[in-house]
Amino acid sequence: MIFISHAAPEDNEFARWLSLRLAGVGFEVWSDVTKLLGGEKFWREIEVAIKEHTAKFLLCVSTSPVRSGVLRELDWAFEAEAATKRDLIVPLKLDSTAFAKFPRDLGSYVNAIRFDHGWAAGLAQVLAMLERDGIKPGNRCGLSVVRDAWARWYPIDEGLANGTDECVSNLFPTTHVPERIWYHPTHRYVRRGFKGDSLRVIAEPYANGFVSFCEPHEMRRAVQRFGIRAQESTAVTWEKFLSEGFTHIALRERTAQRYGTTLLRRAFQRRIEELGLVPYALANKKVCFWLKSGFLVNDEGRFKSGEGKQHTRALVGFKTLIANKEGVRAKRLWHFAVQGLPTFEPHEGMILKTHVVFTPDGQTPYGSDAYQHRARRNQGKNWWNDVWRDRLLAMMGVLAGGGEELAIPVAHGREFRFSALPVRFVTNASYVVTEQQPEDDMPDDDDLLDHDEVDENA
């Protein structure tokens, strides 16, 4: 059997492609995304499969973080090499990852097959390597295996169909805007690189002044050290600002929209922190916001559907991890989180991008970005669209205080308001989903409790 090990969902497409290619020429293949192709399920433990039934262990190496489960698989392959006295492990280089960054220092002493120069060229090298090592395909019905697998994954009854579907977006439309936005020139120089997030008001520097929703007298008090030239402050309507900017200072339309995005995002973040949500810095340096366990009654949010019915959804929950070798079991808590992204085209509103933050105790997130990434993949694999949708609506219900709108103050007496119900739209085609296939009963690697990793990042 050919065993394909890969690190992250970003490599799923490649793992599936390679699995089908090898199965098509008659090899028995196992990968996380395809399970076993072209053979009987004669084992239930991955360790047994690697040590007793694997002829080649193909390790996909990319810039994606390497999961602890992949490292376990690799260590089992090392043990199998030592026991059988034969070369088993073959790294597959998928992208620009440096050889020095291969797991377990593989890049320094094992020849890798290069898929970063093209998948077809890499496949030819894999097939040549298997032939050279005397590993021959044993299934003459390889194409039938591929056909059957494809039919399982993409049933003929599933897919696009004539009809319409009503869909729910994650765009919450703007229902009210401030009457105007101001540009306030200053007496003193505003140094290049100064950011408005250090100010107590919502404002952002441009040239030698500030763009803000604050009236001159409010802005004067907020930035006394710069000295506002109030008699020269100018205002335009919000609509004119988005379409034209401030032409007298050469702040054009596109720049104006970037400034509008910055001001609204900052106002959104400050408001939801005031409401009790906690910021979490994502791996890409963006920020999402989550709720600690116990903040809500039963950790649930209430929301009203488009039909006016009241519903509840959990915004905090837990998963009991599989006991480790010492028999210790622990809970990993998940916390639904959102990130606010203002948008003006084609519709004006606030996009709420969904995230999940994980903690060991409901209060403090795990510190490792890689662990958060793996936990999200593991927790979210059975959250289908309706789950994400309802949790999003429940979170918006919390932010709106159970009302019909979320108010975001941007200056004294001035605010943006957004509907608590998202934009809905009707498609001109439908999509038929067949009955969900039963889940594989083999535990995911990330269900295992890794004490070293948990203790390190708690």
Q: Which residues are bridge partners to 186 per DSSP?
A: 228
Label residue 325 by pLDDT band (50, 70, 90). low
Give the pLDDT score at 267: 97
Please give the Cα distance from 41 to 230 (Å, whole number).
77
Give the pLDDT score at 156: 66
Non-local (6+) Cβ contacts of 41 within 8 A are 35
Residue 208 has pLDDT above 60, yes or no: yes
Distances (CA, A) of 201 to 222, 223, 270, 353, 400: 7, 9, 10, 25, 22
Residue 152 has pLDDT above 80, yes or no: no
Which has the minimum average pLDDT: 60-74, 105-119, 120-134, 432-446? 432-446
Non-local (6+) Cβ contacts of 383 within 8 A are none
144 vs 41, residue with greater confidence: 144
Whether residue 155 is preceded by a cis peptide bond, meaning omega within 30 degrees of 0, is no
Residue 103 has pLDDT above 60, yes or no: yes
Query: Domain 2-154 in CATH: superfamily?
Result: Toll/interleukin-1 receptor homology (TIR) domain (3.40.50.10140)
Phi–psi pair at 204, nearest 5 degrees: -140, 135
pLDDT tens per residue, range 356-415: 999 999 999 999 888 898 888 888 878 888 899 999 999 999 999 999 999 999 999 999
Residue 380 is inside which H or E element, if any?
Answer: helix 369-380
96 vs 181, residue with greater confidence: 181
Q: What is the mean pLDDT of residues 309-338?
A: 87
Distances (CA, A) of 415 to 289, 404, 420: 21, 15, 15
433 vs 443, residue with greater confidence: 433
Residue 19 exposure: Cα atoms within 13 Å on the Cβ side:
28
Contact 214, 203 (CB under 8 A): yes
pLDDT tens per residue, range 263-309: 999 999 999 999 999 999 988 889 999 999 999 999 999 998 777 78
Torsion sign over Cα 264, 270, 274, 280: positive
Quote the percentage of the chain above a pLDDT of 90: 51
Contact 40, 145 (CB under 8 A): no
Q: What tokens does 191 get?
A: 């140094």
For the chain, the structural domain boundaries read: 2-154, 167-173+275-457, 178-262
Q: Which amino acid is residue 334, in one-letter code?
A: W
Label residue 339 by pLDDT band (50, 70, 90). very high
Torsion sign over Cα 147, 153, 155, 156: negative
